[in-house]
Amino acid sequence: MERVEEIAVTQWVRLCGVAEAPAVGQVMEAEANGVAICLANVNGELSALDNWCPHRRGPLGQGWVEGESVVCPWHSWVFHAKTGVAEYPENERVEVFPLKVEGEDVLVEVAEAPVAAEATGAGEESSSEPAGE
């Protein structure tokens, strides 16, 4: 029996400058604390989605905006920019990160960088590939 205790520690991290953010109807790829983000501008409102499509890990930040959704560039799955819920197939979704604009910065709330992972032996679920040990 495996006991999994996950403490979700998050922090607000600068994703990019407001001036670098995509224009209305555009998406871009960005990164915060090692988390790949698809930053989308839907009708003038920014959304930060997990960049990796749950289908085959297509880069949503290289896709496009359609209506209120982001379309994956690989096989055209469609995710609502605010909820992350897929139009099709029904039970799929991507994470949507809290986002705010402060001054000239676009900030997202993501998990804190896994500093203590080595000490606990955790970190297998990290989204970034370890460099090898």
Beta strands 64-66 and 45-50: pairing type?
Answer: unpaired
Size of the site for ligand FES (CB under 6 A): 8
Give the HSE-up count for residue 79: Cα atoms under 13 Å, Cβ half-sphere: 34
For residues 71 and 67, what is the distance between their CA atoms, to the nearest angstrom? 10
Q: How far is the CB of 127 from ligand FES (least distance, A)?
A: 16
Q: Which is nearer to ligand FES, 16 or 94 (CB)?
A: 94
Kindly give, in sequence order, each residue whose CB lies less than 8 Å from that of residue 7, ignoring residues fewer than 6 positions away: none
For residues 53 and 92, what is the distance between their CA atoms, to the nearest angstrom? 9
Q: How far is the CB of 56 from ligand FES (least distance, A)?
A: 4
DSSP 120: H
Q: Which of 74, 82, 105, 113 binds ligand FES (CB under 6 A)?
A: 74
Q: Which is nearer to ligand FES, 81 or 107 (CB)?
A: 81
Q: How far is the CB of 9 from ligand FES (least distance, A)?
A: 29
Task: Catalog residues that contact ligand FES under the rule CB under 6 A.
Answer: 53, 55-56, 58, 72, 74-75, 77
